Amino acid sequence: MPDPPVRKPRRAERIAALVKLLTDEPGAQSSLSQFAARFQAARSTISEDVAIIKEGLEAFDLGRVETQPGSSGGARYLPFRSAEHVRRTVASLCGHLASPDRVLPGGYLYTSDLIFSPVWAWTIGEVFATLFDRALGTPPGRGPGGTAGVVTVETKGIPIALMTARALGLPLVIIRRDARVTEGPAVSINYFSGSTGHIQSMSLPRRALAPGARVLFVDDFMRAGGTARGVQDLMAEFEAEVVGTGVLTATWLPERKLVDRYIALTVLEKLGDREVAVRPGPLISEMV
């Protein structure tokens, strides 16, 4: 918590600062008593300010603020958005991805400009956080489904996984293709990648994840689901469990993936010479 201001702030200044402090740390529980000391105001006054912020953010679909009553109560900001916002965002994603200019030689789709855009990565992270919350629920002080972190496989999935983790207030765990001596003893497994058609390896340092953890897996692309299945197998080595899987884009074929439950924001139906067809994922279309 920063040092108190040199003068007592006006209410408009205090509310503006509170919005900044709450939204800077999504998912983090902030103490109303600490806010009161920070802004030289009564705790009841801070509680009224938070109520105004809560009402304003929800009215404009900018997330929600949850409060905890009692002497040790506090508040936390969660960037969960409405179904309409999610549908608009995914529709815009589909429009960008469906550009024929994105078709690369060898039958690949160029997505790096979206994935590595800070604005798009944060927007996608908010959408994933919203969908995981709707599917699993978020108990106080924990991630959806009681999760302890977000995992991804290097490298293209990192930006959207990082922003999902930030939106949920959870740490990010990066699974590497090869063990790094600088990260200590690691667990490694082999898995079949449907995207490449080859056996590949993935590795995670033993100290990166606590045994028994519940985690979310976020990645940029899924064809057959081999990577997602490999992550599940690797988590089993830690006695951990993947309780939610989200991918930016999944291919329509094969229809049957190696994992049963996953959230795909977009579905790639066709990718040919100067021809791309992308639609919203099934869960997006069914949102109410």
CATH of the domain at 71: 1.10.10.10
At 279 the pLDDT is: 97
160 shares its domain with 263? yes
71 shares its domain with 89? no
Is residue 6 in a domain?
A: no
71 shares its domain with 87? no
61 shares its domain with 114? no
Domain count, the chain: 2
* pLDDT range class, residue 196, cuts 50, 70, 90: low
Other CB atoms closer than 10 Å to residue 201's CB: what's the count?
A: 13
Tell me which of 42, 63, 78 is where a domain ends. Answer: 78
Residue 55 above 60 pLDDT? yes
41 shares its domain with 97? no
178 shares its domain with 51? no
Sole residue written with tokens 């089993």: 236
Question: E-strand spans in 61-146?
Answer: 64-67, 74-78, 103-104, 108-109
Q: Where does residue 212 fall: left (phi above 0), alpha (psi -120 to 50 degrees), or beta otherwise?
A: left
Distances (CA, A) of 180 to 92, 151, 210: 38, 17, 19
Task: Name which of 182, 170, 259, 269 is nearest 210 in CA terms.
Answer: 170
38 shares its domain with 136? no
For helices 32-39 and 11-24, the axis angle rounded to 10 degrees is 140
Here the tokens at position 120 are: 């798009």
210 shares its domain with 242? yes
- Mean predicted confidence (pLDDT) in 218-240: 96
Q: How far apart are CA 25 and CA 109, in angstroms?
A: 34
Is residue 236 in a domain?
A: yes
* pLDDT range class, residue 26, cuts 50, 70, 90: very high
Is residue 105 in a domain?
A: yes
Q: Which of 104-108, 163-167, 279-283 has the lowest mean pLDDT?
A: 104-108
pLDDT per position as a tens digit, 70-86: 777 799 999 999 999 99
Residues 182 and 209 sit within 8 Å (Cβ to Cβ): no
At 125 the pLDDT is: 98
Tell me which of 78, 109, 128 is where a domain ends. Answer: 78
Residue 171 above 80 pLDDT? yes
* pLDDT range class, residue 273, cuts 50, 70, 90: confident
Domain that holds residue 67: 11-78
Task: Name which of 233, 234, 219, 136 is nearest 187 in CA terms.
Answer: 234
- With H, G, I as helix, E, B as strand and everything else as coil, classify residue 233: helix
Here the tokens at position 35 are: 């806010």
At 104 the pLDDT is: 93
Q: How far apart are CA 153 and CA 227, in angstroms?
A: 8
Tell me which of 57, 78, 99 is where a domain ends. Answer: 78
Is residue 2 in a domain?
A: no
Residue 59 above 90 pLDDT? yes
Is residue 4 in a domain?
A: no
Is residue 3 in a domain?
A: no
At 5 the pLDDT is: 59
